[in-house]
Chain A
Amino acid sequence: MLEITPNTIAFLVFALLSVGGALGVVVSTNLIHGALFLIVSLFGGAGLFVLLAAPFMAAVQILVYIGAIAILIIFAVMLTRSMTSLSEIFNRQWWISAIVAVVMLGLLLVGAILPVWGPSGTNAMLPVSDAVGTTVDLGIALVDGNQFVLPFEVASLLLTAAMIGAIVIARDNE
Chain B
Amino acid sequence: MAYYPQLVSLIILIPAIGAFINIFWGARLGEKWVGTVATVASALAFVIAVLLFVYLEGSGYEAVVINPPIFDGWIQIPAGEVVIPWQQRVDTLSSTMMLIITGIGTLIHVYSISYMHGDARFHRYFAYLNMFLAFMLVLVTANNFLMMFVGWEGVGLCSFLLIGFWFDKAHGVGWRNTMAANKAMLLNRIGDFGVVMSVLIMFWTFGTTDYFRPAEIVNVHLAEEAAHAAEAAHSEEGAVAAEGEAANKPGDVVLAQEGEGEGAAAEEAHGEEHSTPGVVYVNNDHIETDQLGVFGQAERFLDEGRVIDIGPVQLPFSTWLTIMTLFLVLGVTGKSAQIPLFTWLPDAMAGPTPASALIHAATMVTAGVYIMVRSNVLFYYAPVTSFVVAMIGALTALVAGFIAMGQWDIKRVLAYSTVSQLGFMVAAVGIGAYAAAIFHLVTHAFFKALLFLGSGSVIHAMEHGHHHAHSHGHGHDDEHHGDDHHDAHEEEFDPQDMRNMGGLRRKMPLTFITYLFGTLALAGIFPFAGFWSKDEILADSWVAGFDNNNLAGYIVFIILLMAAAFTAFYMWRQIVLVFFGKPRTEAAEHAPESSRLITIPLVILGFFSLGIGFMNTPSYVLGLDNIFGAHLFTDRLEYSVSKAHASEFNLLIALGATALAVAAMFLANNIYRRSAIIEARRDPLEMLPTTAPFWSLANARMYWDAFYSRVFARPFTRIAYFLSDVVDWRFLHDYFHDVVIWKGFNAAAQGLSKPVDLGVIDGAVNGVGRVFGWLSSQLRQIQTGYVRTYALSLLVGVVLVILVILLPLLQRG
Contacts and interface: CB of A to CB of B under 8 A. Distances in A.
Interface string A70-81: 000000000000
A107 B802 contact: yes
B802 A100 contact: no
Nearest to A91: B788
- Chain A contact patch, size range: 10 to 19
A104 B795 contact: yes
Contacts of A101: 795
Given A90-B786, A91-B788, A96-B792, A107 B781 contact: no
A122 to B, nearest CB: 15
Contacts of A91: 786, 788-789
Contacts of A103: 799
Q: Is the interface of A mostly helix, strand, loop or mixed?
A: helix
A97 B795 CA distance: 9
> Which of B781, B788, B796 has the most A CB atoms < 10 Å from its CB?
B788
B789 A93 contact: yes
Contact of A107 (B789, B792, B799): B799
Contacts of A97: 788, 792, 795
Contacts of A96: 792
Contacts of B802: 107
A103 B792 CA distance: 13
B790 to A, nearest CB: 11
Interface string B747-778: 00000000000000000000000000000000
Interface string A82-93: 000000001101
B786 A100 contact: no
Interface in B783-810: 786, 788-789, 792, 795-796, 799, 802
A104 B781 CA distance: 22
B800 to A, nearest CB: 11
Contacts, number: 21
A100 B789 contact: no
B799 A104 contact: yes
Interface residues of B, number: 9
A139 B352 CA distance: 87
B813 to A, nearest CB: 9
A32 B680 CA distance: 105
A164 B799 CA distance: 36
B781 A100 contact: no
B779 to A, nearest CB: 13
Contacts of B789: 91, 93
Interface string A136-154: 0000000000000000000
B568 to A, nearest CB: 91
B354 to A, nearest CB: 69
Nearest to A94: B788
B795 A93 contact: no
A27 B786 CA distance: 16
Nearest to B787: A31
Nearest to A90: B786
A123 B802 CA distance: 23
A93 B786 CA distance: 12
A108 B786 CA distance: 27
Interface in A43-100: 90-91, 93, 96-97, 100
A93 B799 CA distance: 18
A91 B795 CA distance: 16
Contacts of B788: 91, 97
Contacts of B792: 93, 96-97, 100
A173 to B, nearest CB: 25
Nearest to B802: A107
Nearest to B791: A97
A90 B789 CA distance: 11
A107 B802 CA distance: 10
Contacts of A90: 786
21 contacts: A90-B786, A91-B786, A91-B788, A91-B789, A93-B781, A93-B789, A93-B792, A96-B792, A97-B788, A97-B792, A97-B795, A100-B792, A100-B795, A100-B796, A100-B799, A101-B795, A103-B799, A104-B795, A104-B799, A107-B799, A107-B802
| Interface pairs A-B: 6 shortest CB-CB | A97-B792, A100-B795, A91-B788, A100-B796, A104-B799, A90-B786
Interface of B: 781, 786, 788-789, 792, 795-796, 799, 802
Interface of A: 90-91, 93, 96-97, 100-101, 103-104, 107
Given A93-B792, A107-B799, 14 more contacts: A91-B786, A91-B788, A91-B789, A93-B781, A93-B789, A97-B788, A97-B795, A100-B795, A100-B796, A100-B799, A101-B795, A104-B795, A104-B799, A107-B802
